[in-house]
Amino acid sequence: MTGRDSLLLRARDVRLQLGGRLLLDDISFHLARGEILTIIGPNGAGKTTLLRVILQLLAPTSGEIYRQPGLTVGYMPQKLHIDPTFPLTVKRFLAFARRNCTEQQSSEALDKTGARHLLKAPLHQLSGGETQRVLLARALLRNPDLLVLDEPVQGVDVHGQSELYQLICRIRDASQCGVLMVSHDLHLVMAATDRVLCLNQHICCSGTPATVSSDPAYIRMYGQLAFYQHDPQHHHQHEEAGDAR
């Protein structure tokens, strides 16, 4: 891969307005080969929207996106909803990733994500974690220059989450692809990412995980988030205390 331009992706002043709502404002960043960039932010911050713009599924209102010519993207969506009436095995599902996909290639991809035993399983019977591994395997089957992962650890328990992040790291090390992913939690993803983009419609802060975690903007955002996300259990106790009085 030496000699190839290492810049995979660059967004410049990207703005997206839909139905009068400003979803993305003034987003600029870049991603190079072999680099892992994680987008974090609260619900509704525009993380998935930004991925959709990068993937050219949504056109930005203004700004520009440069993608290296001939870029092959492996995309792992946040959710896979397959109607239970649709009979589909993992093997068949994987075969859609590329032309003339052989069983050998599919099992190799599943091997990498630790899910080889699922090759013959029906897709709609997989657990959350299994589904994520199969989705990742499908993205890998494309031999991507760029992996775009939307909440790759969703529905996986905490132990499995850090394991999956390590796996993504190893995949990057082995194939030197670029990785752009979305995560909810900075602390879990910290060890697995080179840079972090903290998003809330606009980019609040960015940099290495260590810089971002001590950035006032990041602390403010997550402080705010804690304020908004009332713990229902907690609330309930308050009421009871009130009644007792």
| Residues of the shown chain interacting with another protein in the complex, contacts defined by CB under 8 A | 19, 52, 55, 57, 73, 75, 77, 80, 82-89, 92-93, 96-97, 122, 124-125, 138, 142, 148
To the nearest 10°, report the CA torsion of 2, 164, 162, 193.
Answer: 30
The residue behind tokens 């013959």 is 120
* Residue tagged 């402080």 (tokens): 223
Cβ at position 5, least distance to another protein in Å: 21
Task: Provide the residue type at 2 as one letter.
Answer: T
Q: How far apart are CA 149 and CA 151, in angstroms?
A: 6
Write out the two tokens for 112.
């990498």
Instruction: Please say whether the beta carbons of 146 and 71 come within 8 A.
Output: yes
Residue 148 Cβ vs another protein, minimum distance, rounded to whole Å: 8
State in angstroms the smallest separation of the CB of 212 from another protein: 28
Q: Which is nearer to another protein, 71 or 191 (CB)?
A: 71
* Bridge partners of residue 66, in order along the sequence: 10
Residue among 178 and 209 whose Cβ is closer to another protein: 178
| Nearest distance, CB of residue 19 and another protein, angstroms | 7
Q: Would you say 125 or 224 has its CB closer to another protein?
A: 125
Instruction: Please say which residue, 141 or 221, places its beta carbon nearer to another protein.
Output: 141
Give me the least distance between CB of 93 and another protein, in Å please. 7
Measured from the CB atom, the residue of 83 and 231 that comes closer to another protein is 83
The torsion of the CA quartet 153, 57, 51, 61, rounded to 10 degrees, works out to -160
Residue whose CB is less far from another protein, 149 or 186: 149
Q: What are phi and psi of 26, to 5 degrees?
A: 55, 50
CB 220 within 8 A of CB 205: no
Minimum distance from residue 99 beta carbon to another protein (Å): 10
What is the distance between the alpha carbons of residues 161 and 163, in angstroms, rounded to a whole number? 5
Nearer residue to another protein within complex by CB, 37 or 148:
148
Q: How far is the CB of 225 from another protein (least distance, A)?
A: 27
Cβ-contact 117, 106 below 8 angstroms: no
List 195's β-bridge partners, or say none. Answer: 37
178 class by beta-carbon count within 10 Å (0-12 exposed, 13-18 middle, 19+ buried): buried
